[in-house]
Amino acid sequence: MRPLLAALALAAALGACDSGGDDPDRPAPAPVRIDAQLVRSHLRALERIADRSGGDRAAGTVGYRRAARYVAGVLRGAGWTVRLRPFAYPWWSERSSSVRLDPGGALRHGRDFRPILFSGSGSADGPLRPAGNACSAAELAGVRPGDVVLALPAGCLFRVKAESARAAGASALLLADPARRPSTSTATLTVPGLGLPVVIVRRDLADRLAAGTRVRLSVRAATGRRRDVNVVGQSAGRGSAVVMAGGHLDSVPAGPGINDNGSGVAALLATAQGIGPRAPGAPVRLGFWGVEEFGIYGSRAYVGSLPAGERRLIRSYLNLDMVGSPNPVVTVYGKRASRLGRLLRRRVHPAGDTSGASDHVPFAEAGVPVGGVFTGATDRGPGGRPRDPCYHLACDRLSNVNVPLLTRLARATEATLVALSRQAK
Ligand SMILES: [Zn+2]
């Protein structure tokens, strides 16, 4: 099937594109009170879907499609209108790769190195040239054509490091791993087509590499375009303005993703059920985004697909990504002074502020006031232990989620959206 037809077939398999609370023959469902049982039921459903679907709900998998169907069903059950919005995204898959050092020998694939998402295909044979963060021309001044550049993970986007190394004539780029374990990082160049082979190397190994070490490296990967679907639900309400919230529905391929981001999905579904078919003021719209983990594609495609006039009607966007961490530190992001920022902080009682890249970024870039909640990933929390020790791992299951905290944050989300709905003009 051609991609567009495949997407239409996908949308058909997931149910009608437009349906919800407008059926006059069906009694409107009553709003429910958000409690731990309700929140846990959504987490359990997402875990079951992953378990029945090869262990995950990653972009392009049957697990993702089943999760999208589940979300659409819950929203319709709450009396909401549901739209499935297909979108295209660049796809990349490793075929084979190798790295050999002289001196040092072959590196072990997966343990010592792995190609970054969207690495170019190709091979290199040259001396290693450490170049700091490889963000500026000054850092790359010593690079000669054919060198294999070694870069630290800080200072700028990985894509910028790759572009800088390529511009300096490098034949490949080795990136020191930002994480302690290569398998837990989802580092990405975010776009295909840079052409340069780029490989992530285990941090302690990269730290010991000497300038001039001969590096022989090969990466073979396939690329293309695929289609996936966002699920967008909306309550009834008054006027043309809307208040929005959302979070990503896809997991990483390594696990079921129940804190990341089943927690946000569960809180949003409970919020829809808590608000019921009709918001008190402006309609509330919730987005369940695809392909966040490979580079924030679903929400970006959604924002990009809206005509400017429709985009201006979105009064605010609240993002939930990882809101039930087991050893949590509750933080919020977005401007403090905005209406959303004030209402959110008043209800969430955060321990501090944070920043980061998730599905709020495309909304912020489009001029929509954004905010969000985050309870922590690999960073240290109480007792010096990681806030989420199962981040991007197979153990990110229901047992990894702090359900009482998630329930509290789901109620805070509902209260914030209801207040915004009342105030929106
Ligand atoms: Zn996430």
Q: Residue 254: give its domain's CATH number.
A: 3.40.630.10
Q: Does residue 408 sit within a domain? A: yes
- Checking if the pLDDT of 9 tops 50, the result is no
Domain end call among 221, 256, 289: 221
Question: How many angstroms does the Cα of residue 368 sit away from the middle of ligand 1?
Answer: 21
pLDDT in tens, 110-137: 889 999 989 999 999 999 999 999 999 9
Question: How many angstroms does the Cα of residue 417 sit away from the middle of ligand 1?
Answer: 21
Report pLDDT for 51.
98
Please work out, in degrees rounded to the nearest 5, the angle formed at the alpha carbon of residue 278 by the alpha carbons of 273 and 284. Answer: 75
Q: What percent of the chain has pLDDT over 90?
A: 82
Q: Does residue 10 sit within a domain? A: no
Question: How many angstroms does the Cα of residue 91 sit away from the middle of ligand 1?
Answer: 19
- Token pair 């909304």 is found at 363
Q: Residue 138: give its domain's CATH number.
A: 3.50.30.30
**On the CB side of 57, how many CA atoms lie within 13 Å of its CA?**
35
Report pLDDT for 295.
85
Cis peptide before 103 (omega within 30 of 0): yes
Q: Are residues 213 and 319 in the same domain?
A: no
Q: Does residue 23 sit within a domain? A: no
Tally of structural domains, the chain: 2
Question: How many angstroms does the Cα of residue 56 sit away from the middle of ligand 1?
Answer: 14
Residue 17 token pair = 């594109």
Q: Assess contact for 288 and 71: CB atoms under 8 A.
A: yes
Q: Are residues 38 and 120 in the same domain?
A: no
Q: Give the residue numbers spanning the domain of 321.
A: 31-80+235-423
Q: Are residues 73 and 52 in the same domain?
A: yes
The residues annotated with a catalytic role in the active site are: 292
Question: How many angstroms does the Cα of residue 332 sit away from the middle of ligand 1?
Answer: 15
Secondary structure of 371-418 in HEC code, one letter for each residue: EEEECCCCCECHHHCECCCCCCCCCCCHHHCCHHHHHHHHHHHHHHHH
- Token pair 């079921």 is found at 256
Question: How many angstroms does the Cα of residue 238 sit away from the middle of ligand 1?
Answer: 32
pLDDT in tens, 291-325: 998 889 999 999 999 999 999 999 999 999 999 99
Report pLDDT for 25.
62
The residues facing 372 across adjacent strands are: 319, 333
Report pLDDT for 192.
82
Q: Are residues 148 and 271 in the same domain?
A: no
Q: What is the mean pLDDT of residues 33-48?
A: 98
Question: How many angstroms does the Cα of residue 292 sit away from the middle of ligand 1?
Answer: 7
Q: Assess contact for 417 and 245: CB atoms under 8 A.
A: yes
d(CA 399, CA 305): 37
d(CA 289, CA 378): 23
Domain end call among 191, 221, 251: 221
The residues facing 151 across adjacent strands are: 175
Q: Are residues 289 and 400 in the same domain?
A: yes
d(CA 126, CA 145): 9
Q: Does residue 362 sit within a domain? A: yes
Residue 391 token pair = 């981040």
d(CA 405, CA 296): 26
Q: Assess contact for 100 and 217: CB atoms under 8 A.
A: yes
Q: Assess contact for 276 and 79: CB atoms under 8 A.
A: yes
| pLDDT band at residue 18 under the 50/70/90 scheme | very low
Nearest to 224 by CA among 87, 88, 64: 88
Q: Does residue 13 sit within a domain? A: no
d(CA 107, CA 196): 19
Q: What is the mean pLDDT of residues 45-54?
A: 98
Q: Are residues 290 and 403 in the same domain?
A: yes
pLDDT in tens, 240-277: 999 999 999 999 989 999 999 999 999 999 999 999 99
For all residues of the chain together, what is the average pLDDT?
91
Question: How many angstroms does the Cα of residue 103 sit away from the middle of ligand 1?
Answer: 39
Q: Are residues 174 and 239 in the same domain?
A: no
Nearest to 245 by CA among 303, 318, 322, 302: 318
Domain end call among 195, 221, 247: 221
Q: Are residues 170 and 307 in the same domain?
A: no
Q: Per-residue b/e over 364-390, b at no fewer than 16 CB within 10 Å? A: bebebbbbbbbbbbbeebeeeebbbbb
Start-to-end CA span in the chain (Å): 45
φ, ψ of residue 366 to 5 degrees: the values are -90, 5
Question: How many angstroms does the Cα of residue 261 sit away from the middle of ligand 1?
Answer: 5
> Side chain identity at 261, as an amino acid letter?
N
- Checking if the pLDDT of 30 tops 50, the result is yes
Full-model pTM: 0.82
Q: Are residues 111 and 256 in the same domain?
A: no
Q: Are residues 59 and 187 in the same domain?
A: no
Q: Does residue 272 sit within a domain? A: yes
d(CA 336, CA 18): 36
Residue 252 token pair = 């990483």
Question: How many angstroms does the Cα of residue 334 sit away from the middle of ligand 1?
Answer: 17
Report pLDDT for 17.
40
Q: Does residue 20 sit within a domain? A: no
Q: Does residue 229 sit within a domain? A: no
d(CA 350, CA 420): 19
DSSP string, 190-201: SSS---S-EEEE
Q: Are residues 129 and 245 in the same domain?
A: no
Q: Are residues 54 and 107 in the same domain?
A: no
Cα distances (angstroms) measured from residue 324 to each of 215, 257, 290, 356, 398: 43, 12, 20, 17, 10
Question: How many angstroms does the Cα of residue 303 sit away from the middle of ligand 1?
Answer: 18
d(CA 180, CA 177): 7
Residues across the chain? 425
| pLDDT band at residue 187 under the 50/70/90 scheme | confident
